[in-house]
Amino acid sequence: MKRTLKYALSTVLSAALITPVLAQGDNFPDTPENHWAWDALRTMKNEGLLVGYPDGLFRGGRPASRYELAVAIHATYQRLKGITDGLQQQIDALKNRPAGGANQEEINALKNSLTQLQADMANMKTWGDDINNLKRLTATFERELASMGVDVAKMQKGLDDIANRVGILEKNALPITIHGDVNLVAFGGYSQSDDFGLSIESRPLGVGRGDYQGVPVGATRDLSIFHELGIAIAGTNTSGPAWKATVVVGNMLGGNGFQNQNEIFPGFVSGSFVSGNYQEDDEDIYIQDLAVMFNTGVLGTRFTAELGRVGYRISPYIFQRPDNTFYYSNERWDNGLWAIDGGILGFNFGSAKLNVFGGRTGNMVSTSGNRFQSMSAGSYDVMWSPSFERPRGLGGGVHSVDQLLGAHLNLPLTQNGSVNLAYLWLDSNNVITTGSSPTVLSNGVNVLGGDIRFNFGGPLLEAGYSQSNVRYNGNNVVDEDNAAWFARLGWQQDRWGITGGYRRVEPLFAAPGDWGRIGDWWNPTDIEGFGIKAHFDLNENIRLMADAEFLRGTDTTVNGVMGFTEDDKINSFKIGVAYRLTGGWDLGLGYEHVEYDLADRPDVSFTGGTPRATWWNIGFGYKLSDNSALRLLWQISDYDGKGVAGWNPFGSGGSTRARGGVATAQLTVKY
């Protein structure tokens, strides 16, 4: 709440709040994810302090009217009052608990209540200045608040009461806050008709173990139970540098866990044993982040710094960690941040922002020696040709990145848009030798690019370009056929939205990004074509969604090898329904189909065909409480290589079919 209140007051004081009316989505579509205020706006929107214009946009550059500010002030007060009233109810309940006759269970419950109450009070430690600011704003906008029917005198008295409570708590608050989450995941893969299933992450499902090793089995014999505990600690000091740390304990890393990106290339060994299937690993510990943050000024320019193990991202085609944990939902793994042991230095030049970041990336290792968040970049060869296996998994690059240095500049375009420009130096500690005539050496990759977002008062334009140059020391050895670009135009209304565009990803493009997937092929390359996606809200509880891409090959020859040609077609379709049921339940239904239409290649004795893959999803979500939720998923898979050479689902030596599925259950408890 401290963070939310700070966001709210800061935004009110800078006159950026707007008339609150209903808008759909997690954040405002005209605010890019790499905007400095993106996280703050998302938090405030989720807290009900910001919700947007009728068309769903934020319009952050537009000055707010006094009436709009008054609405925001009142929303902030109501949120603050609700939290403090809740704490008072907890205190009263503890006071009224009977003094005698308590058994051990009641004593434990009392201890838990006191622990939670102590943590809540610690979070309120530094609210004093913010409450005073809110009182001054209430006085300034008294007329507008009164016109809304707000009892301003009662509101002022309520703020005085809150300030008195906080003043008492400040004297007894703890110097740190501790929070986090506990996740338990049951994962059961199963086979069908003696064929393994195929996951969205390109792994086999229904794989037997022990005496049934490598045999297609049911979910009871391909059952994994994962767990993870995240502990986030932060200082509560109001002066000097701030600090934070997140430590994670669990069994999800390892060779076949959810979170090891090096293990997303499953395959058959001798045609019988399957590697890459999901399995628990030994108990492990790793540090997600550990950083110190401070603000200061340099030559009249505001300067920020975050030092330690930090996280950073720019945009999908430049620098963003792929979310390959499809069956596991957790903000630590879904936020797209690459972990760096180093720092982020920020410089503000008026409304422009320059971030310089860098450090080590190759030492993300757990206490058991498992690497996590492994970063790679650069490419020498096409992803697929008639002599290769089908493209699947993350793809990745030829170089494992051990250290990096980057510069990221954000420039606003009037009040309706922004431009991002970036340059990355990615270095490897290993020299790679490739080719034979002549031999080529490389030890790093440079990534450069930019993107633009602009709102024309309705239509939203997005476009970007990125390039990944493989180099040896200071000389480029790959600087052709290694770019990606896209352009999209979208329109959002109250109940519907539609976006269409075109993209081209050349065969040697391999930035450390996350530009989507085609079935189980993540970060696809050597493709170009049109795409369209849309959603429509039947009512406030039901949303329909559709997404389609119509792609073909780029017809590019690299080192004498041609990958996908312009006669090769790749079509992808997704449809879904999200239904908010009563009683805290949510229902999600989804269908995904990918079909390749590969042309014959007589010059290399290749006979084409139409391999295809299909997944059906049925998901339920149940909100057990404000801090806990249960998610259930049943996914059915059906892959058919149609006898095309190299298009077996798990590599050479196996079946051309994959039929099966997976059932998962995830329980999340936040504390």
| Range 584-611 average pLDDT | 95
Phi-psi region of 624 (alpha: psi -120 to 50; beta: other; left: phi over 0): alpha
Lowest mean pLDDT segment, chosen from 18-32, 73-87, 146-160, 420-434: 18-32
Higher local confidence (pLDDT), 543 or 434: 543
Q: For residue range 249-302, what is the model confidence (pLDDT) as tens digits?
A: 999 886 566 655 443 333 333 333 345 688 888 899 999 999 999 887 665 667
Side chain identity at residue 161, one-letter code = D
For the chain, give percent helix, strand, coil, nearest 5: 20, 45, 40
Encode pLDDT of 540-576 as tens digits: 899 999 999 999 999 999 988 999 999 999 999 999 9
- Specify the range with the lowest mean pLDDT, choosing from 78-82, 175-179, 348-352, 519-523: 78-82
Using CA atoms, how far residue 579 sits from 27, 327, 428, 547, 585, in Å, is 19, 20, 47, 18, 9
Of the candidate ranges 82-91, 153-162, 197-206, 371-380, the one whose mean pLDDT is the lowest: 82-91
Render pLDDT for 53-78 as a digit per residue (tens, 0 to 9). 555 655 555 555 655 666 666 666 66
| Pick from 170-184, 312-326, 344-358: least confident | 170-184
Task: Specify the pTM.
Answer: 0.76
Whether the bond between 438 and the residue before it is cis, its omega within 30 degrees of 0, is yes
Express each pLDDT in 493-509 by its tens digit. Answer: 889 999 999 999 999 99
Token pair, residue 467, equals 């390039």
Mean pLDDT of the chain: 81
Three-state DSSP class for residue 510? coil
Give the range among 74-83, 117-126, 655-664 with minimum mean pLDDT: 117-126
Q: What is the pLDDT of residues 614-630, one digit of tens each?
A: 999 999 999 999 899 99
C-alpha 133: how far from chain center: 34
Q: What angle do CA 89, 124, 44 make, to 5 degrees?
A: 95
| pLDDT band at residue 437 under the 50/70/90 scheme | low
On the question of pLDDT at 165 being above 60, the answer is: yes
Structure tokens, 237: 């000091």
What is the distance between the alpha carbons of residues 564 and 659, in angstroms, rounded to a whole number? 26
Radius of gyration of the chain (CA): 27
pLDDT of residue 12: 39
- Of residues 156 and 36, which shows the higher confidence score? 156
Residue 4 phi, psi (nearest 5): -60, -45
Report residue 489 CA to chain centroid gap. Answer: 23
Q: Is residue 109 very low, low, confident or very high in pLDDT (cuts 50, 70, 90)? A: low
Q: 207-221, 293-307, 377-391, 397-411: lowest mean pLDDT where?
A: 293-307
Q: Compute CA 135 distance to the chain's CA centroid, rounded to the nearest angstrom.
A: 37
Q: Does the pLDDT value for residue 520 go beyond 50?
A: yes
Residue with tokens 């963070």: 3
Q: Does residue 170 have a pLDDT over 70?
A: no
Q: In 341-457, which residue ranges form alpha helices assigned H by DSSP? A: none
Could you give the dihedral angle defined by the CA atoms of residues 316, 615, 395 and 516, in that order, rounded to the nearest 10 degrees? -10
SS3 385: coil
- What structural domains and CATH numbers belong to the chain? 2-174 (no CATH), 179-670 (2.40.160.10)
